[in-house]
Structure 1
């Protein structure tokens, strides 16, 4: 689980802090130069956080971790051995700390304060059951275990089922700074997220409506969802897929690129294996006629295709055009014919006939003279 970066929906990583609507789990030996705010915050060994840590619920910080500022906990807090806090620790519930814990800014705890090396829960139950069996109180063991696990299951179902879908998982050895988000494994980003910094991972897959102010560098595929905005370049040794209405204010360098027809790329696209365009499934276009001037006149088909496979001939649509193929058109223009009376037309026909006859007589007279 702690090999991939999982960013839930509506997560914001801006210039100073990381804000998550659910829980936060940070793997061992990770470095985070931000403040962290979430419901429950769990950190592994050797984690370094430069900013504040705010947990609305519980928090657990394992041994050798360093907090560079204040830590605020809404319920209970556990601090492992050799944990150091540069700021102030505020706990609304109980505080359980190990040995050699350093809190430079002081602490305030409204519940119980226990300084010890806590026994793991499983070991505690084992010792408890063994002691009860030695005393011969088997009925009390069953009753205690039944009440314990029934309550824990109810609390788990009512409280953690909903936030479980919104967990920010930062894998082991991750480096997150305002300049770069560097992950050793894959990165999966949810919907409506806002991130600042260059993202480096083995492969990157994002949801919709992402705003990333930085570039993406990946050894594998890069999949960008719909309606996203990337203020940087995309570089991959595999394939890059760009979703609908996504804008990339930079260039793309990959083995191949699949670009939606409604997406936009401002920079240069370099893809040795080719660039492909993805189009949505279009509806069947309506039939149309084109008149002599090139104007398209739509024509709808009212009757569907019959089941027997026979098609009816569509009705002929008359197209009004200034250009006519027939000289007898009423509204057309024919040179020498408009505005002439019947008598004028008859005289013209007689003149043409008489002229042909005179030419024929002259030709015959010339032959007799020769």
Structure 2
């Protein structure tokens, strides 16, 4: 897992992520920037959330869970290892922790909590804030190797976890209706998501299905085999639709490049050039 910039300056949906009924499910970690609203529950390896994040469902973390102050969770919190809960966090359900629980002041857990390890009542350091500020500082002064070493220790590379984290930037809104961010968005391969995606730029991988539209200020790329069940619109950017991708709606953009077997079911509005791809000829 390598960082070349602020880790929370982009929406990143890793390969294989699915929106299953009321939960976002991923094999890797889940990182949520401060003051974001996630109307789903989340299920992943480690779950880390910044200050003031709202979760509309349960949290299930195979590893650790760290919630900074003022977070609100609408259902249960189930943690496979240790939990670090900042002050004034509210959990509407119950909290079960297989390891140690480090908990701050004025935390409300409506249906009670239990931990198999130590329970320490204090104000844990806002880990996610410290982590990203420190990483950003290291990158600004050119200490890329030190930053990479820190990240490696955090994600425990000895366990050979290769899945990149699900990253939701600060002030984002993620729901069954829409994914709204003011940053670029990268959606991986073999994902299945519900909701319209709104971002600065959008890059969708291969064989992904999105039940919603795509709208960006800049460029939009759709990988081969992907299905977009909605319109694709960009204000000033170009659109590239690779391979046999299919857009079940209208496309509006500047320049448009269409793969050899790509399909657009609706109307095309391109202010610039439209380039039609051709199937490569096999060498004689």
Same fold (TM over 0.5): yes
Q: Structure 2 vs 1, CA of residues 251 and 284 (structure 1 numbering), >3 Å: closer, same or farther?
A: same
Q: Structure 2 vs 1, CA of residues 153 and 18 (structure 1 numbering), >3 Å: closer, same or farther?
A: closer
CA distance in 2, matches of 1:35, 1:239: 34
Task: Tell me the equivalent position of 1:71.
Answer: 77
Residue 52 (structure 2) pairs with residue 55 (structure 1): no
Q: Structure 2 vs 1, CA of residues 46 and 119 (structure 1 numbering), >3 Å: closer, same or farther?
A: closer
Task: Tell me the equivalent position of 1:156.
Answer: 156
After TM superposition, the structure 1 = structure 2 runs for residues 165-204 of structure 1, keeping only pairs within 5 Å, are: 165-204=163-202
1:54 is paired with a residue whose SS is: strand
Q: Structure 2 vs 1, CA of residues 284 and 110 (structure 1 numbering), >3 Å: closer, same or farther?
A: closer
Task: Tell me the equivalent position of 2:234.
Answer: 236
Q: Deviations over 1:323-352 (max 9, x none)?
A: xxxxxxxxxxxxxxxxxxxxxxxxxxxxxx
Offset of residue 195 of structure 1: 0.7
Task: Tell me the equivalent position of 2:104.
Answer: 98
Offset of residue 108 of structure 1: 1.4
Task: Tell me the equivalent position of 2:206.
Answer: 208
Moved beyond 6 Å, runs of 4+:
none
1:158 is paired with a residue whose SS is: helix
Q: Structure 2 vs 1, CA of residues 19 and 267 (structure 1 numbering), >3 Å: closer, same or farther?
A: same
Task: Tell me the equivalent position of 2:260.
Answer: 261
Q: Structure 2 vs 1, CA of residues 196 and 115 (structure 1 numbering), >3 Å: closer, same or farther?
A: same
CA contact (8 A) 2:86 2:126 kept: no
CA distance in 2, matches of 1:10, 1:155: 19
CA distance in 2, matches of 1:30, 1:175: 6
Q: Structure 2 vs 1, CA of residues 96 and 200 (structure 1 numbering), >3 Å: closer, same or farther?
A: same
Q: Deviations over 1:243-278 (max 9, x none)?
A: 111111111011121001211111110112121111
Q: Which structure would you say has the larger Rg?
A: 1
CA contact (8 A) 1:175 1:182 kept: yes
Q: Structure 2 vs 1, CA of residues 155 and 262 (structure 1 numbering), >3 Å: closer, same or farther?
A: closer
CA contact (8 A) 2:204 2:222 kept: yes
After TM superposition, the structure 1 = structure 2 runs for residues 1-370 of structure 1, keeping only pairs within 5 Å, are: 1-118=7-124, 156-159=156-159, 161-163=160-162, 165-237=163-235, 238-283=237-282
Offset of residue 14 of structure 1: 3.9
CA distance in 1, matches of 2:173, 2:107: 25
CA contact (8 A) 1:14 1:196 kept: no
CA contact (8 A) 1:245 1:264 kept: yes
CA distance in 2, matches of 1:115, 1:71: 18
Offset of residue 201 of structure 1: 0.2
What is the TM-score with the length of structure 1 in the denominator? Answer: 0.66
Equivalenced residues, count: 254
Structure with greater strand percent: 2
Q: Structure 2 vs 1, CA of residues 251 and 14 (structure 1 numbering), >3 Å: closer, same or farther?
A: farther
Structure with greater helix percent: 1
Q: Structure 2 vs 1, CA of residues 114 and 284 (structure 1 numbering), >3 Å: closer, same or farther?
A: closer
Q: Structure 2 vs 1, CA of residues 118 and 31 (structure 1 numbering), >3 Å: closer, same or farther?
A: closer
Q: Which runs of 5+ in 1 are unaligned?
A: 122-148, 286-370
What is the TM-score with the length of structure 2 in the denominator? Answer: 0.85
Q: Structure 2 vs 1, CA of residues 166 and 250 (structure 1 numbering), >3 Å: closer, same or farther?
A: same
CA contact (8 A) 2:68 2:126 kept: no
Q: Deviations over 1:214-234 (max 9, x none)?
A: 000000000000111111000
Offset of residue 283 of structure 1: 2.6
Offset of residue 166 of structure 1: 2.1
CA distance in 1, matches of 2:240, 2:126: 47
Q: Which runs of 5+ in 2 are unaligned?
A: 1-6, 128-148
